[in-house]
Amino acid sequence: MGTFISTRGRYALRVLLDLADNYGGPRVPLKDIAERQGISLKYMESIMPVLVKGGIVSGSHGKGGGYELNIPPEECMVGKILRLTEGSICTVACLENGSTPCERAAQCRTLPMWKKLDEMINGYLDTVSIKDLISTPHLVEIKE
């Protein structure tokens, strides 16, 4: 699909915001995050391996186990998180990585507009950090 951010991407951001609130502190049990965020533990268990594999968080089991951010909140960029969880952030299917090239691409008069919109969206999301969302959740300015 590519045009909407799924619950997977949105929930990943909520998890990271929760972890950022505890950055530098002890690991946070996943069940605690699930309770605070109102997300099912089972669904969160499907999201966390993606964030671990992407190097964003680390986790451990057992006593004192839980998750923590591997990188400072100001270096944890929304664009990277959404690409990890969503696969891509595209406005139209023909621009998704690995998509079959459209037979009309050479004469498509709207393709340049879609490419520019994708550049704008991805460029913007790559300027917004988890720290920005903590500091100013109501308004994240577009940085030129």
From 115, 93, 85, 118, select the one nearest 1 (Cα to Cα).
93
Tens-digit pLDDT profile for residues 100-129: 777 887 888 988 898 899 999 999 999 999
Phi, psi for 33 (deg, rounded to 5): -65, -45
Task: Count, in order, helices (H) and strands (E) of the chain.
Answer: 6, 2
Answer with the residue of higher pLDDT: 99 or 5. 5
Residue 137 has a pLDDT of 59
Quick one: angle between helices 41-53 and 78-86, nearest 10? 110
Cβ neighbours of residue 37 closer than 8 Å, sequence gap 6 or more: 11, 14, 15, 18
HSE, side-chain direction, 13 A CA sphere, residue 58? 7
Give me the mean pLDDT over the 14-27 stretch: 95
pLDDT at 17 over 90: yes
Lowest mean pLDDT among 35-39, 79-83, 102-106, 121-125: 102-106
Give me the mean pLDDT over the 35-55 stretch: 95
Architecture of domain 7-135: Orthogonal Bundle (1.10)
